[in-house]
Structure 1
């Protein structure tokens, strides 16, 4: 979790900005453009992720209050001085993204790179941090927001211009979404969905990208990492979790207002291999078989759709892993 938060910050800057040169020795316009490109991709990820976790919140056992805000901390960059100059801030904390339709975005106050001086009355700039490359303070800031919202009806943010805004959260599934500055994979770790900036699906139409994100989100919602910790990571077990994640994709998409057929189109276009980054070679079935599993859920989704257009997967989705017991070390 924490390594990814660091990578996301560092990845926003191009190689020249990472050289630790003073701001007047580099082309700030180039660095500003690099940050903007990163944030544009991150905005797409956060917008889709927010839509999925809020639309499915009623069916998530671990739903939490959320506001859809991502921050950034200059202390996480290799050259905080360069970062502050590129972002146009005097302190260290600023807005990274506010997911479209989220409470943060609806206020109109959280534009990109706007400097933040206080969170719930506390000045995060005063928290201790290393001179550079310190991702821990940003994690602390996000954790403090989440913890505050658990026991309070709203949260106040103060900005460098002296203004302040109060935000009331809405309920969302607990999973977070993180863009990393390197890599071409999409993965889930139990708490986050992590997407690399070179992941091919980022160039696809939003509904197809939403399919890829929904697959990774499904791993978190179905608690597959914990299940594999208990039952073992045999090829059979990993394939079972991958099939479940594929099959839950269209449920999550449909509830969020996407056409569930987009999950099929994603597989048809992306055609992922049967290998797996985190687990075993051959842990995924062929892409055509995976698309078939997705299609197999369409009738069930339609059969239980309620008057609001939602289908309760927590009650009606059939868990394949529920029938598997014991730790398996082989096929």
Structure 2
């Protein structure tokens, strides 16, 4: 599936050309599922499971609502009317079993206010992630203080009591490529990499790897060591440090995936397939060669299997 900003309604002009009956069928047929909303829901659910299942393995915790917000200005101007979205941030996903689900929040609910402050209004300019990012930040700030009072566009209100999970915000950037990144607080997944993940086990591998960078404090380590990530950064000691943190994130991600209930045996073939697809982009000196990465991931998968067979807690042994 290619993510993007495709119209969701049937082409009325084509229906009119086919006659009144075709027009009536077009107007009464259900709208096609929104691929961006579907993707948001999938990323939200996988991220929530990883973050709530691994509280014991991450140093910083945060309140997690278990929802995803969407705004019409994430779409290009030509496609906005077809989304059916209004001016306010709207729920595109509610994770089953999460705080949002327990509070009765539903997909399609528009948030007008949080703790007495109005939510951001969609821009009329080009497609942007900035507005929904402000809405996410507003909700996170409210939950950091405790429960949040949510007021919907129709006047209803609920109190949202969040779950505790690992502190990181996970974002899907539909227009980005076959890559992902983490800056210590935020994880971003490119749309092409999202598409490449064939199932939730593989998507969990991607998100868990980037979460591992945040949990292990890799951004701060690189900054303190003065490690460059620019041109020729894969050379010498600089490159050696970058490759080391990739191995560390690969290893921890296996336990994050296992503890969240996803299939760890899906990880080695996924990374092998991604390595073959990405080629030099994933083995340019800043990242280890994919064959060595797969070998080490297979070793970690074997360690998890050993712990399970022995009835031991799934915790990565200190190396």
Structure 1 residues not aligned, in runs of 5+: 1-10, 18-23, 319-331
Partner of 2:48: 50
How many angstroms apart in 1 are the aligned matches of 2:75 and 2:35?
16
Q: Equivalent residue of 2:34, what SS?
A: helix
Whichever of the two has the greater Rg, that structure is 2
Kindly indicate whether the alpha-carbon contact (under 8 Å) linking 2:72 and 2:86 is maintained by their aligned counterparts in 1: no
| Equivalent residue for 2:91, pick from 91, 95, 99 | 95
Matches within 5 A, 1:31-110: 33=32, 36-79=34-77, 83=80, 85-110=81-106
Count of residues paired in the alignment: 290
Q: Equivalent of 2:114, from 104, 115, 119?
A: 119
Which 10-residue stretch deviates more, 184-193 or 143-152?
Answer: 184-193
Question: Is contact 2:180–2:189 with CA below 8 Å preserved after alignment?
Answer: yes
| Aligned equivalents of 1:265, 1:239: Cα separation in 2 | 20
- In the TM superposition, residue 193 of structure 1 has moved relative to its aligned partner by 2.2
Report if aligned partners of 1:276, 1:282 keep a CA contact under 8 Å in 2.
Answer: no
Instruction: Note closer, same or farther for the CA distance 1:137–1:270 as it changes in structure 2 (3 Å cut).
Output: closer
Paired with 1:140 and 1:43, the residues of 2 have a C-alpha distance of 19
SS at match of 1:263: helix
In structure 2, the CA distance between the partners of 1:60 and 1:25, relative to structure 1 (3 Å rule), is farther
TM-score of the two chains, using structure 1 as the length reference: 0.74
Deviations 1:112-167 (A, max 9, x none): x3322222222215x6x754246444322211211211222x21222222222222
CA distance in 2, matches of 1:25, 1:309: 63
Over 3 Å counting, the alpha-carbon distance change for 1:187 and 1:310 in structure 2 is: farther
Corresponding position of 2:154: 161
Secondary structure of the 1:96 match is: strand
CA distance in 1, matches of 2:309, 2:148: 33
CA 1:239/1:274 → structure 2, altered by over 3 Å: closer, same or farther? Answer: farther
For 2:154 and 2:194, locate their aligned partners in 1 and report how far apart those are by CA, in whole Å: 40
Distance 1:310 1:262, change over 3 A: farther
Rounded to whole Å, the distance in 2 between the matches of 1:44 and 1:155 is 24
CA distance in 2, matches of 1:36, 1:288: 37
What is the TM-score when the length of structure 2 is the normalising length?
A: 0.77
Alpha-carbon distance change, 165 to 179 in structure 1, aligned in 2, over 3 angstroms: same
Matched residue SS, 2:241? helix
**SS across alignment from 1:285:** coil
CA deviations on 1:257-277 (whole Å, 9 max, x unpaired) are: 123222113123333456447
Q: How far did 1:243 drift?
A: 0.8
Alignment root-mean-square deviation, CA: 3.5
Q: What's the CA shift for 1:39?
A: 1.4
Asked whether 1:236 is paired with 2:232, we answer: no
1:256 aligns to 2:249 (yes or no): no
The runs of 5 or more residues in structure 2 that have no matched partner are 16-25, 229-237
| SS of equivalent residue, structure 1 residue 194 | strand
